[in-house]
Structure 1
Amino acid sequence: MKNCIVSFLVFFLLLGASASSQDKILFVTSNQSTYGDTTLKTANHFAEIVLAYDVFIKSGYQVDFVSPEGGEIPIGYINTSDPIQKKYLDDLDFMNLFKNTYSPEAINAKDYKAVYYSGGGAAMFGVPENKAIQDISRKIYENTGIVSAICHGTAGIVNLKLTNGKYVYEEKEVNGFADAFENKNKAYYKTFPFSIEEAITKNGGNFTYSKKGWDNHYIVDGRLITGQDPTASVSVAKQVVAMLQKTNHK
């Protein structure tokens, strides 16, 4: 009888651990440190990561980071006058996460409820064409999960197709960093493999954006949530949490 009780307790402990392991959100980042093959420096956008991360952590979710190659990723666009950014910048354990991102092969899509593509110029390189990351995001989405992106992070979903062959954003409203805010005459832009806006539109998405810019503009269309620029990072994260809670994922 005693052995049966112990076995019963172990079973429920394992069950609880399994459920807890499901409360995860996956951040997609890039290993790229330059614009294309140039010497122009770029990075993942620190604010777009930490502002969303802070929302998810405080809402009870665990966050993991994946990048095309795994390992270290570059961080930039840092504003130390922002208290949340400063808080995480001074957190050595948190900053060490950027030195040890997961490779796509180490990720089990079933463990995640949502995927969040962060931006920065680095997001234009390595991520959009990575089929392993596409496969992870597809599985998360088709398992009733959420796909979200911020700013140039939307580049990461440009090639993302579902098993039915449709793009995840096809016939949906979606946004990201619009061409109107790019400086197409600058050297950095000339290294971009594509225009996010043009690619989304060409593939059947309804790309919309705020002409004012930097005004917390975001779009929710079903389980696809996208933000225009860093000012929408918190809102995108909050919308992800709200949707997960509403659909009883949490």
Structure 2
Amino acid sequence: MRFLFLCFCFFVLTSCNQQSEKVDIIKEGKVLFVVSNQHTYGNTNINAANHFGEIVFAYDVFIKNKFEVDFVSPNGGAIPIGYLSTSDSIQKKYIYDAQLMDKLKTTKAPNQIQPKNYKAIYYVGGGAAMFGVPENIAIQKIASDIYKNNGILSAVCHGTAGIVNIKNANGKFIYQGKNVNGFPDKFENKKAKYYETFPFSIEEIIKERGGKFSYSENGWDNYFKVDGRIITGQDPTAAAAVAKEIVKQIQ
């Protein structure tokens, strides 16, 4: 499958004549998606983005199950999206969804979020997820509070970078002793310029801090782990499965 790496002009998308599918949302609860404002890998000119598939595969599950979805980013406002596959029916559907595109154009800043209003938090991947999100203390606090309030902490692919610094009330890393996964080192190109900008290896830091990191050797095969209220997926193929598990636990 050929992926196109695109950053969208949101005002163009939201002005498309095609009408969005109308979904009558009965609020079963709210889920908070964490995304990044980063447009490049570090300080380079190499484009980075949030993974559109990892957004919409999960978003589609939540909307169909009557959940409301909000988006938060370190700075609020518009975010870059990429890794788009126009041959995928779900991605193609949401490209022209004005409601979703408006949410991505106007993501909330951390100070606009009330953790008590959310039943789960979901960290989106893509190269942008390595920057701005992991070190954001305000988002860490939001995630910790949601988890402490009996909510679910989840991530997919590079989105797992967002949870590496989160601690519980006892000062221990929230995933210590837990089964966790994300995009593994095996599938990174460590000699590439993009990887040189990464602040850390997701796999290594999870292991160093007491997490039980595992992954599928094959990859791209819907691999995910559930350990209580921590749910993590290896790559975009697991995004929908992670969302379905969240829905199952909440309902």
Q: TM-score, normalised by structure 1?
A: 0.89
Give the 3-state SS of the residue equivalent to 1:220 in structure 2.
Answer: strand
Establish whether residue 131 from structure 1 lines up as the match of residue 123 from structure 2.
no
2:189 maps to: 183
Selected match of 1:215 from 198, 211, 221: 221
1: CA distance between counterparts of 2:27 and 2:76?
21
The reply on whether 1:74 has 2:80 as its aligned counterpart is: yes
Mapping for residues 71-110 of structure 1, pairs under 5 Å: 71-110=77-116
Bigger helix fraction = 1
In 2: Cα distance, 1:21 partner to 1:136 partner: 21
Deviation at 1:22, TM superposition (A): 7.3
Aligned equivalent of 2:172: 166
1:50 aligns with 2:52: no
Corresponding residue pairs, total: 226
- Partner of 1:235 in structure 2? 241
Say whether 1:25 aligns with 2:37.
no
Q: Which residue type is aligned with residue 94 of structure 1? A: L
Unaligned runs of 5+ in 1: 1-19, 246-250
> What is the Cα deviation at residue 92 of structure 1?
2.3
Gap change, CA 1:21 and 1:135, over 3 Å in 2: farther
> In the alignment, is the contact (CA less than 8 A) between 2:27 and 2:67 conserved in 1?
no
Q: Secondary structure of 2:226's partner? A: strand
2:201 & 2:110 partners in 1: Cα distance? Answer: 25
Question: Please, which runs of 5 or more residues in structure 2 have no aligned partner?
Answer: 1-25
Q: Render the CA deviation track for 1:109-160: whole Å, top value 9, x for unaligned.
A: 0000000000000000000000000000000000000000000000000001
Q: Which residue identity is paired with 1:25?
A: V
Deviation of the 1:50 alpha carbon: 0.3
Q: CA deviation at 1:80?
A: 0.9
Distance 2:27 2:165 in 1: 29
TM-score by length of 2: 0.89
Is the partner of 1:133 in helix, strand or coil?
A: helix
Alpha-carbon contact 1:22-1:111 (below 8 Å) kept: no
Question: 2: CA distance between counterparts of 1:169 and 1:243?
Answer: 18
Checking the alignment, whether the CA contact within 8 Å between 1:29 and 1:123 is kept in structure 2 is yes
Structure 2: distance between partners of 1:139 and 1:91? 31
Q: Counterpart of 2:44?
A: 38
Partner secondary structure for residue 119 of structure 2: strand
Indicate yes or no: 2:148 matched with 1:142: yes
Identity of aligned residues (%): 63
Q: Do the aligned partners of 1:150 and 1:232 also contact (CA within 8 Å) in 2?
A: yes
